[in-house]
Structure 1
Amino acid sequence: MLDDFHDAAWLEKTRAEGDVAAWLARVPYARFIGVSASPDAEGDGMVFHLEPHAHNVGNILLPAIHGGVVAAFMETAGTLDLMLATRTPRLPRIVDFSIDYLRAARVIPTHARCRLLREGRRMANVQVKAWQECEEEPVATARLHFVLGVPEDPGA
């Protein structure tokens, strides 16, 4: 049995509806760390959110969110945003992920915005910026490179 992400009809339907919540519901780690998404107020794509949870803390002295949680949040945001932005439904597989930590991510709500830099026939590049209180003061930036696959048709 194929999971929903490999079901072409389900992926096309949820993509057409912009139902990122349906996608997040099927990613257990994203649910565990508290990832959600909402349409951008300016109507330009999605903004992803990471809720502050005690189990996401890496440095209890500051306190600050663990860098691995920030990276997982940004990778999830970049992947799902790419799935919405591609010309046709495609399944991205990450090839390379590079992150720059710019300041400590305090235990407050964290947000991310993604930008598709390039979508080719087989590869895509995405840029992600994560911030907390002010978008002009990011806590981290990342670049992601993906190989693009095609979902399978279960009826074939």
Structure 2
Amino acid sequence: MSHRFKTRLEQAHTRGDYTALLDGIPYAQLIGIECTRLGDELLFRLPANKDNIGNPILPALHGGVIAGFMELAAALHLLVFTGAPGLPKIIDFSLDYLRAGQFRDTYATCQVWRQGRRVANVAITAWQSTAAEPIATARAHFKIEEASRP
């Protein structure tokens, strides 16, 4: 992890504002991801944006945008909460689309199911109107860097 990125991460922790951290990730900027800390959780938001539409007839969000949003949310969640010394690298990502992602704001939360020394497993849930009605759920496995030993 670069010194500049590490500094952004530390500032985000201190301020509770993750905008500077997201600004350093081009894909997060492209699709418009936002992040807010709510106590011990992060809430990720994907604002409605015409550029993210995959089916203009419905209109519905592109499935790849939903997947990218959820994968990036999981990686950022790991980075913020696990204290990993570097950026987590995706090993596997499995996604279940449950409902059409309509043209409105989309939200996601993550939960770390297991974190070992080298691998972390994360569950991600995305919804639009209410968390009780998810539009997609996913499981992600990340390779995380081990902390350097003295």
- Normalising by structure 1, report the TM-score: 0.85
How big is each residue's C-alpha offset from its partner over 1:82-126, in whole Å with a ceiling of 9 and x where there is no partner?
111104544210000110000000010000000011111111011
Determine whether 1:14 maps to 2:5: no
12-21 or 138-147, which moves further after superposition?
A: 12-21
Aligned to 1:33: 31
Question: CA offset at residue 16 of structure 1?
Answer: 3.7
| Residues 72 and 66 of structure 1: CA distance in aligned 2, closer, same or farther (over 3 Å) | same
Q: 1:72 is matched with which residue?
A: 68
| Aligned counterparts of 1:46 and 1:135: Cα–Cα separation in 2 | 14
Secondary structure of the residue aligned to 1:135 is coil
Following superposition, which runs of at least 4 residues in structure 1 exceed 6 angstroms of deviation?
none
Gaps of 5+ in 1: none
Structure 2 length-normalised TM: 0.88
1:6–1:151 contact (8 Å) kept in structure 2 = no
| 2:7 counterpart letter in structure 1 | W
State, as a whole percentage, how many aligned pairs show the same letter: 44
Match of 1:148 in 2: 144
- CA deviation after TM superposition for structure 1 residue 28, in Å: 1.2
**In 1, Cα distance between the equivalents of 2:96 and 2:116?**
25
Structure 1 9/78 Cα, relative in aligned 2: closer, same or farther at 3 Å?
A: closer
- Cα RMSD for the two superposed structures: 2.0
Match of 2:120 among 124, 127, 151: 124
Moved more, 15-24 or 70-79: 15-24
1:13 Cα deviation from its structure 2 partner: 2.0
Q: Given that residues 89 and 150 in structure 1 are in contact (C-alpha distance below 8 angstroms), is that contact kept between their aligned partners in structure 2?
A: yes
Give the 3-state SS of the residue equivalent to 1:149 in structure 2.
coil
Greater RCO between the two (CA within 8 Å, min separation 6)? 1
Equivalent residue, structure 2, for 1:96: 92
